[in-house]
Amino acid sequence: MDNISIYFQIGFKHIANWGALDHILFMIALSLRYQFADWKKLLILITAFTIGHTTTLALAVFNVMHIPKNWIEFLIPVTIVITAFSNLFVKKFSYNTKFPAIYFFALFFGLVHGLGFSNDLKSLIGNGNGVIIKLLAANFGIEAAQLCFVFIILLIGFICLNIFKFNRREYILFISGGIFGIAIEMALTRLPW
């Protein structure tokens, strides 16, 4: 039981720290277009991301997949750029389709982000007993931290849109533009060649 708690904390702290700025920016860009009323859709979106993240973590831990770290470090901000850029085209805020394209983007981008954490987690988990339990515990920690951040993002959005009466589209454009700029700089400083 101690192992579960330890690896849950490792997963949680992987997201909930300033060293995870790229992950936090991605969560903000991904969640920005949603409000509390959309919580079910947002939960599916975040879970899709976590499934992708978990998949590549498992593949890396079991030595099925290895991609050079410099490419992963470059691709992570690219996912942020794409997600922030996609927010610029959100004009309607009703999400009637059962599985919008952003769910598939979240799943795919989760695959990339999972590779970013895989080397660190692989060295912590090792090859011994309980690898699957440790991996699951770390991923539950990641999901819990992401959901905490999403709640904070929704709360800030609620305050800005309902109390300060910001225009929703302008709010999304402003925040997404800032994230886009930061992510472009990150990508340029991490060019793999």
Q: In whole angstroms, give the CA distance from residue 145 to residue 165.
A: 28
pLDDT value at position 167?
Answer: 96
Indicate the residue type of 6: I
Which range of residues forms the domain containing residue 13? 2-189
End-to-end CA distance of the chain: 44
Indicate the residue type of 75: L
CB-based contact 150:27 (threshold 8 Å): yes
Number of separate domains in the chain: 1
pLDDT value at position 101?
Answer: 82
CB-based contact 179:29 (threshold 8 Å): yes
pLDDT value at position 169?
Answer: 94
Q: Of 109, 113, 145, which Cα lies nearest the Cα of 11?
A: 145
pLDDT tens, residue order, the chain (193 aa) = 677 899 999 999 999 988 889 999 999 999 999 999 999 889 999 999 999 999 998 898 888 988 899 999 999 999 999 999 999 988 877 656 666 788 899 999 999 999 988 877 878 877 667 888 989 999 999 999 999 999 999 999 999 999 999 999 999 999 999 999 999 999 999 999 8
CB-based contact 29:153 (threshold 8 Å): no
DSSP 3-state helix, strand, coil percentages of the chain (rounded to 5)? Answer: 80, 0, 20
